[in-house]
A and B are shown apart, each in its own frame.
Chain A
Amino acid sequence: MEQSTREAYGKTLVELGRQNPDIVVLDADLSKSTMTSLFAKEFPQRFFDCGIAEQNMIGIAAGLAASGKTVFVSTFAVFAPGRCFDQIRMSVAQPGQNVKIVTTHSGITVGEDGTSHHAIEDLALICPLPNFTVVVPADATEAAQAVKVAAQTYGPFYIRLSRPKTPLVYASDYKFTLGKAATLREGKDITVIATGIMVAAALGAAQNLALDGIDCRVLSMSTLKPLDRDAIVKAAMETGAIVTAEEHLRRGGLGSAVAQIVAEQRPVPMSFIAINDIYAKSGKAEELLKRHRLTAADIESAVRSLILKKRA
């Protein structure tokens, strides 16, 4: 079964809007795509379209938050934080404003729109900012829960969502816990730590590897900040090798953050499934994932090589 994380977001916003009159939503002329249009339709007084002006939108969000509102701000991941980084830094991060930046159309699965629309640097920009919490949900179920948690947790949030429908990876009784990795598959030979759409790919890889007797642990690391250090160190200790997988550039995303902890706490061989210092071009999402080696098969072969390295 498949559902897009942005659709889950739009519906959840409406639900939150009904419960909490202090929730306000801003968009920058993309409300139909980000799905904030659902909120706008039901709560026109609490929805502000800021036009194609992301910097101003972030400032308005900060002012509303400073006045007691819980503010959700949406646009494509390529425009926030990219287009308004300094506004996020000074008006939101530094004073720790209660602003929730929820972006859609992240990564290369935007596909045909091409290089300008492939947000593959956003995590590298947002994760270093003090006071920010960063979540990349793995599916629509988790996206809905993460958005609710963000509404309940005071302070700046960045939530990264996707355009296409993606597979549901969690059981129906799954409960998202902020700052905690979800163990989707136990294993003792190696751990794949994945985030966002790569969690489904990691599960696919683990299934195939099991056929060959490779027992692969799969962690869904949906909270990138604060990162679940314990789960990472435990994985390093118990499985002795870690592969990370993300739809983002190699530098500054999940892989570097995990590597930092592994290097400090428990060095083990690692390998990184990510976009390798290059911009993607137009194409179908599946074609691009294949071209940039972000498929289950790519995770599988990374695991096989790393296991050899581990044993050597």
Chain B
Amino acid sequence: MSPSGQGAKEERINPEASADTKAEAIASPRKELALAPSLSLKEMAATAKKLRRHVITMIGKAGSGHPGGSLSAAEIITALYFKVLRHDPANPRWAERDRFILSKGHAAPILYAALAERGYFPGEELAALRTLGSCLQGHCDMTATRGVEMSSGSLGQGLSFGIGIALAGRLNARDYRVYVLLGDGECDEGQVWEAAMASAHFKLDNLVAIVDHNELQIDGWNRDVMNLEPLPEKWKAFGWHTIEVNGHDLSQLIAAFDEAKRVRGKPTAIIAHTIKGKGVSFMENNVDFHGKAPTPAEMEKALEELK
């Protein structure tokens, strides 16, 4: 049925496919534009703090959300969105862009804060988090938010999705890179290890997994709920180039992302040791703030600490 084969091409309304074609023409001038702003480490640290303030304000205003795991990932997200990623906020479907997948979808606020700061949507939208009609859903929704690559929220699925994008990059001979941020508690999910095995099997050196290792999950410490250790050794055993960093040290994070770019023939896992609730004294290592909004008084106190 060859006429239908032709028809298939014309009838397709795949948004990515059309973006792909359009992007060809603008790929090279955009490449320059898409480079991250050259911020000093000090400026990036200030940016991470700013993102944390957004997280507190957004969740406080919404009255619900997950501050703990958003705050622990502030430096990881800052390093990616303000340094590492090749992306273009004016053209979120740019075919050559690096992809960032937030597998731990409950940390959406920290991603939204970065996307707003990079201009994917107006900063005022942050105040509408979790409200009816807002583009900022409680958990990541790729159909709702400009710049969000994958719908997530049910844990364990992001790395598999990342493999698909990485394989497509290989098939299409594109040199973009794929970054997937997982929670450590999320690594309880069997699918994460199915995906870990497959990533190494397919030799995906364009794929990086970052584990936000804050050691806490809803019911308590990882070691008490479901022991993950030795976590770095597990990733190594699954065939990954594995790097451990202090997840709040921007220079260590950036160095790890650079190192990952030089690795050939295998994916890279960055185990980022972090503190849940980092930056707000009464949220740090306090699992109660995994999925609880600060009260107005707590919000004020937190913002004071994040000045």
Contact = CB atoms under 8 A, between A and B. Distances in A.
Interface of A: 15-16, 19-20, 22, 24, 45-46, 48, 50-51, 53, 55-71, 86-87, 89-91, 94-96, 98, 148, 151-154
B197 A98 contact: no
A50 B141 CA distance: 26
A94 B163 contact: no
Nearest to B166: A63
A191 B4 CA distance: 33
B92 to A, nearest CB: 13
A60 B158 CA distance: 9
Given A69-B168, A152-B4, A63 B16 contact: no
Give the interface size class of chain B.
35 or more
Contacts of B230: none
A75 B162 CA distance: 21
B195 A59 contact: yes
Interface string B145-185: 00001111110111111111111110110000000000000
Contact of B165 (A50, A56, A66, A151): A66
Interface stretch (B6-14, B36-44, B47-55, B80-88): B6-14
Contacts of A152: 4, 7-8, 11-12
**What's the dominant secondary structure at chain A's contact region?**
helix
A116 B214 CA distance: 40
A53 B197 CA distance: 10
B14 A154 contact: yes
B143 A90 contact: no
Contact of B149 (A57, A66, A89, A148): A66
Contacts of B141: 94-95
A63 B160 contact: yes
A61 B195 CA distance: 12
10 contacts: A24-B171, A45-B171, A60-B160, A67-B169, A68-B20, A70-B12, A94-B143, A96-B143, A148-B4, A154-B14
Contact of A154 (B12, B20, B159): B12
Interface string B191-205: 100110110011000
Contacts of B226: none
Interface of B: 1-2, 4-9, 11-14, 16-17, 20, 141-143, 149-154, 156-169, 171-172, 190-191, 194-195, 197-198, 201-202
B171 A46 contact: yes
B2 A19 contact: yes
A60 B167 contact: yes
Interface centre among A45, A50, A63 (most CB of B within 10 A): A63
Contact of A51 (B150, B152, B198): B198
Given A56-B195, A90-B152, A16 B5 contact: yes
B151 A94 contact: yes
Contacts of A70: 8, 12, 14
Contacts of A95: 141-143, 150-151
Nearest to A24: B171
Contacts of B143: 94-96
A64 B169 CA distance: 9
Nearest to A98: B14
Contacts of A20: 5, 8-9
